[in-house]
A and B are shown apart, each in its own frame.
Chain A
Amino acid sequence: MTRMLLSIACHVYGLATIVYLTHLVRQLRGLAVVGRVVLAVGLVLHGAALVVQVTGQGGVPLGMAQGLSLLSFLLLAIFFAIDLVYRRPVIGAFVTPLALAILVPAFIVPAELAPLPEPVRGPLLPVHIAIALLGVAAFAVAAGVGLMYVVMERQMKGKRFGLLFSRLPPLMVLDELNRWLVVLGFIALSITLATGAFFDSTFGFHLDPKRIATLIGWILFALLLGARSLAGWRGRRVALVTMAGFCILLVSFLSSYDPGRFGGGGVH
């Protein structure tokens, strides 16, 4: 049941991807609306699949397959929200293929979970994981938006304009999007760290690449938000730091799903 729902959602996303890519090339208004509707359908199906899956398992989205599935859902949900507020369907041409690339492997990796140690089975772990994934998704979109900013700004400074120039959103919009996404990601990251610290206090703290990378990422984004509001940082510099910060968090994310760890002790 879950797998079927997820598979349909995946196909719907594939359709949405085609629509958004066509929109990028053709710039037809109608396609943006079609994309929005198709994506909404996909999100509803995907959301239903996630709910069924989580309730079927007693509320724990733990395995890598579910992690990838939830991450792609959050990515698309964030884009959907941006599109509703800012009407920038162009971003969809970049987010939908990425989300699809994350979701497809979810069908391949094993969905079964190794049995968890009893004390971790509380409601806090799924919250920890879901919010961590929300953070990753928000920073992923922020980094993508940052990349668009760098590309646009380069063309404005170089006074040479490529094909994407007329299609990408204006610099100020990209900068504003970056701000909101980094704030969202930072809040999620902070909650992740706080809940993670709670686990550490229960099971004992040990330094691993995941924790180091997450902490460095958190400090970097804290400094970035500070520089933005106090020193008036904006634009290209912020975009570059966002991209660097995302790369650090990506290390953290990937090491969370280190296959060796599932057989062993820690899950977090």
Chain B
Amino acid sequence: MDLLCIGVSHKSAPIELRERLALSEEAQVQLLQRFAPIGEAMLLSTCNRVELYLAAEDLAAARQCATAALQEVAGAPEVLHHLYEHQGERAALHLFRVASSLDSMVVGEPQILGQVKDAFELAQKIGSARGELTRACNAAFGCAKRVRTDTGIGRAAVSMASAAVELAGKIFGGLAGANVLVVGAGEMAALAARHLQHAGAKRLVVANRTLARAEALAKEVGGVARSLDDLGALLVTADVVVSSTGALRPLFTRELVAQAQKARRHRPLFLVDLAVPRDIAPDVHELDGVYAYDVDDVQKVVADNAAARVAEAAKAEALVAEELARFVRARAVRAQVPVLAQLRAHAEKIARAEVERTLAKLRDLDERERQSIAAMAQAIVNKILHAPTMRLRALDDGGERLADAAAQLFGLAAEPAVLPEADDAANREAPRAQGVKG
């Protein structure tokens, strides 16, 4: 079993290509199921990246299946020129960096971790993420959490919404007097609406295809809910528009905006498109007095003043390297040492530690009493581990799932640091533990 990551991101592909790879949840499930015969699979699809994380014995087959699938989805062979690929340890590193928001266009933006979690949950739900990807993801989540708490990268993170607010301020001088229209009521739209309200927007309108969801969001941010039916009329009274819907075709066409501009007597109009595929047609920006920014444009603004985060990012990279080393060590140990030995080492370590703690408290015991306490702890370990040991031995072949389950049940994946220095026995059984597959 080895890891493979194949995909495109804002670093490798333009938005035109990325929006072609956007998939509904249903289509994502179908895509993941194609990998069932090969191994494990997870699809991370955000507006900045579409990546497949795979775990398989036969990486060549996995690679072939992935490129074929992505090419099919994009409907164009040119996607192949924009694909990048990471394997083994490098794939894990990439996942860690993505989850920690170090590979984001806006380094440190907080949404990516939730998106990775969503991707993992979907893959787990349909059974395409099992032992290997589960361990990798759990380690990545732990790493992301450490990066967030131990470095200033999250604090300094400037979300796209705040970049949009900054740009709007450069047109209107503040949001207090501006009419703000939020189109869509999904997570991104909600985030933007909250941010806009926080930044001083007083007159907020939330428009959504299903009115009920618009009402919920409008209530939260103190705005008014509207249906999407008459977008043209809503545009006439709007100064700032933030759009983030799942629509596959642009809602704002050049004709629609041009018509609205006439009715608004050419007051400046600022449109921010946080959706991929885009909600605003690219040629809208050409209209006089209209400023339309898509995801890439907005993030460029943020990237421009992100220099201050470089130092924090370096700190975060060091943390990621540390976490990766830990993950790789654990993986190597797992590859060499049967789960059984790990389990025993784990249990014995706990027993030994507890015995030591108890004995430290009971100072006035003699040697015999001390030995019998240690023996009792060992006996408990043996008795508890007896049944699992028998079962796992019996299922020597094809017992991988049960072994994985055991590893997960006893938290062997979550506490990899325990393993390398675990037990003499474990070390003897894993003489090549340091040799790591690239």
Contact = CB atoms under 8 A, between A and B. Distances in A.
Interface of A: 152, 156-157, 159, 161, 165, 169-173, 232-237
A206 to B, nearest CB: 43
Nearest to B266: A232
Interface in B122-170: 167, 169-170
B291 A235 contact: no
Interface string B267-293: 110000000000000000100110101
A238 to B, nearest CB: 10
Interface in B290-343: 291, 293, 297, 300-301, 304
Contacts of A157: 285, 291
B173 interface: yes
Given A234-B266, A235-B289, A172 B171 contact: yes
A236 B288 contact: yes
B116 to A, nearest CB: 29
A72 to B, nearest CB: 29
Contact of B173 (A165, A169, A236): A169
B267 A234 contact: yes
Contact of B170 (A156, A235, A237): A156
A154 B169 CA distance: 16
B268 A172 contact: yes
25 contacts: A152-B170, A156-B170, A156-B171, A156-B291, A157-B285, A159-B293, A161-B301, A161-B304, A169-B173, A170-B169, A170-B170, A170-B172, A170-B174, A171-B172, A171-B268, A172-B268, A232-B266, A233-B266, A234-B265, A234-B267, A234-B289, A235-B266, A235-B288, A236-B288, A237-B288
Contacts of A236: 288-289
Nearest to B178: A172
Nearest to A173: B173
A156 B164 CA distance: 12
Contacts of B169: 170
A172 B167 CA distance: 13
Contacts of A173: 173
Contacts of B174: 170
Contacts of B266: 232-235
A234 B266 CA distance: 7
Contacts of B301: 161
B174 to A, nearest CB: 8
A165 to B, nearest CB: 7
A172 B176 CA distance: 13
Contact of B172 (A152, A172, A234, A237): A172
A170 B171 contact: yes
Nearest to A168: B170
A152 B270 CA distance: 14
A234 B265 CA distance: 9
